[in-house]
Amino acid sequence: MTKRILLEPDPILRKKCQPIENVDDELRKLMKDMLETMYKAPGIGLAAIQVGILKRVVVVDISKDDQEKHPLFFVNPEITYRSKETSVYEEGCLSLPGQFAEIERPAECHLKYIDFNGKEKELKADGLLSTCIQHEVDHLNGVLFIDYLSKLKKDMIIKKLIKHKKDIERVIV
């Protein structure tokens, strides 16, 4: 079942998510629903908070359209290393439709997490995967990519998003 994605501005998106205590079938069902929601959107990552669930759960798949799918499931992800070297990517977010900005982040990061089967894992990431992981872990702490922009740019984007929300809520007769 796909879930509805919350759109900024929404106070829920600013909350801090709680760690998972047990990887059980209910959590696996949530992760499958999140993956379906992410593929449908489409996007390369999704945090549970974006579907209104304040838990430290993330799904990611950066495979290209013409490649085989390669879903990743991260429970309680923790970034254990951030490189001093940085890289810049044009970021988007399913909770900020139509808005994009170049964001500078550590180029490489290491992640400690629990996988789909409840097993502890570690991952070294660079490139788009590294950026995506950092973007998703930010979501778990109530942080959005626009928080890295100047107040002027951020306010402009929020203004557009308020208009966008009003437009999609309006019933066209």
Catalytically active residues are 136
Among 35, 38, 93, 125, binds Ni ion (CB under 5 A): 93
Which part of the chain contacts Ni ion (CB under 5 A), choosing from 12-20, 29-37, 55-63, 87-95?
A: 87-95
Quote the CA–CA distance of 152 and 58 in Å, as a whole number: 30
Count of Cβ atoms closer than 10 Å to residue 109 Cβ: 21
Which part of the chain contacts Ni ion (CB under 5 A), choosing from 23-31, 60-68, 75-83, 88-96?
A: 88-96
Burial code (b: 16+ CB inside 10 Å, e: under 16) for 117-139 equals eeeebebebeeebbbbbbbbbbb
Give the tokens for residue 51.
């579907």
**Binding to ligand GNR by residue 92, rule CB under 6 A?**
yes
Contact of residue 49 among ligand GNR, Ni ion, none (CB under 5-8 Å per partner type): none
Tell me which DSSP letter residue 42 carries. Answer: T
Quote the CA–CA distance of 65 and 56 in Å, as a whole number: 27
Which part of the chain contacts ligand GNR (CB under 6 A), choosing from 23-31, 79-87, 91-99, 107-115?
A: 91-99
Q: How far is the CA of 150 from the CAs of 38, 93, 119, 124, in angstroms? A: 28, 18, 40, 30
**Smallest distance from ligand GNR to CB 91, Å:** 4
**Smallest distance from Ni ion to CB 31, Å:** 17
**Binding to ligand GNR by residue 45, rule CB under 6 A?**
yes
Residue (93 or 129) nearer to Ni ion, CB: 93
The verdict on whether omega for the bond into residue 11 sits within 30 degrees of 0, i.e. cis, is no
Residue (31 or 132) nearer to ligand GNR, CB: 132
Quote the CA–CA distance of 98 and 32 in Å, as a whole number: 25
**Binding to ligand GNR by residue 44, rule CB under 6 A?**
yes
Residues of the shown chain interacting with ligand GNR in the complex, contacts defined by CB under 6 A: 43-47, 50, 89, 91-95, 131-132, 135-136, 139
Contact residues toward Ni ion (CB under 5 A) are 93
